[in-house]
A and B are shown apart, each in its own frame.
Chain A
Amino acid sequence: MNTEQAKEILLLYRGSIDDGVPQFHEALAHARGDPELAQWLREQISCYNAIRSKLLEPDPPTDLSERIIRHRPIPFRRDWTQILKIAAAVILSASITSVGFRLSERKKHSIAQGQEILVKGEVLDMTCYIAYNLSGPEHAKCARICIRNGLPVGIRSKDGKIYLLTGKPGHSVNAELADYAAKIVTIRGKETMRDGFAQLQVEEIRKF
């Protein structure tokens, strides 16, 4: 190995950190017997240290670590045991809800298929009754007009229960009931209930 070859190898030599690297051993041995090469090597190491020091000078912004920690995302770690547990819980919960819903629907359905009943009471213009509490003979004329015009019509039984009166699907009973506005009648029909609201599908109107 001549001096130039040793220099090419020792160009990467950083000092004690590289002492264990076999590729430098022969070149270092050569430098020990060559004063000129040894001087060149000292300069190289000195230059390495000077550049390293310069590169280590800049400090990061004072708030950088705080920013990093503050903006840390919440990781979603895929723990499959946990995922399976959650999935099982979701399926169980969905099953219970489904069964509950079906039972509830069955209950509602039984009400929807309600018995035929007779209700005796005053025919109401529901809009005026609910909005303004207007009913009775004093309001008969207005109620007749409203019912004839298609506004909702109802009946208030003696016990105070209110039913919305409807015809069969697609058929209005307003024309038949308008003449009975504010009068006492008996209506035979099928009772249905939805969300606490009673409806009576009119089969027959009897003037009482």
Chain B
Amino acid sequence: MSPDLEFEKLVNLYYRDLYRFGLSLTASDADAADLTQETFYIWANKGHQLKNPGTVKGWLFTTLHREFLKTCRHRKRLADEPIEEGAMSLPDAASDCVNRIDSQTLLHLLREIDEDFRAPLVLYYLEDLSYKEIADVLAIPLGTVQSRIARAKIQLLRRLTETDRPQMQRK
């Protein structure tokens, strides 16, 4: 297969997943499209250096995440700040709340979670990746990945129920 066809095949295979990953990180259509495009641009220049073809998907997600982090450099890093007392208590399941909101609201709630916690959480929800694969994509230890997902999930569920409460009161 020619390199052009290989590239097109790869784009058609992964651009939706990458776009949704970018959208969940940025909550912005334009930023997600830019991140996706930039990721494939980098692939076109450097992809041939990848030794193991089986890791293409992980490479693409890692690259998109890295590009996303570059755009966040100027922001205040909150990742290592302790979560407030009591925040780790498990929230009630919130599937009803989720069903009542639209995807745009969910994206904005995700946006409120610190980016270091958001990326593992998004991969946890969006992609059928194991925790080890998520750790590889984000280049962080497995234990850190699980810890961040758990904390971020609790934050998200808490925000979901808080967002849903006024709607329930109006009803």
Contacts and interface: CB of A to CB of B under 8 A. Distances in A.
A12 B149 contact: yes
B29 interface: yes
Interface string B118-138: 000010111010110000000
Given A43-B93, A47-B93, A58-B23, A71 B41 contact: yes
Contacts of B149: 12
A47 B157 contact: yes
A131 interface: no
A207 interface: no
Contact of B106 (A44, A55, A65, A71): A55
B44 A44 contact: no
Contacts of A69: 7-8, 11
Contact of A65 (B12, B45, B103): B12
A118 to B, nearest CB: 71
Contact of B90 (A8, A71, A75): A8
A91 B68 CA distance: 45
B15 A50 contact: no
A7 B11 CA distance: 40
B153 interface: yes
Interface residues of B, number: 48
Interface residues of A, number: 36
Contacts of B99: 50
A72 to B, nearest CB: 5
A61 B19 CA distance: 9
Main secondary structure of the interface of A (DSSP, over half): helix
A51 B19 contact: no
B16 A60 contact: yes
Given A12-B149, A43-B95, A51 B106 contact: yes
B44 A65 contact: no
B163 to A, nearest CB: 13
Given A56-B20, A61-B33, 18 more contacts: A8-B150, A21-B130, A21-B131, A47-B95, A49-B95, A54-B98, A55-B20, A55-B103, A55-B126, A56-B126, A58-B19, A60-B15, A64-B36, A65-B15, A68-B37, A68-B41, A72-B41, A75-B45
Interface of A: 4, 7-8, 11-12, 14, 17, 21, 40, 43-44, 46-52, 54-61, 64-65, 67-69, 71-73, 75, 77
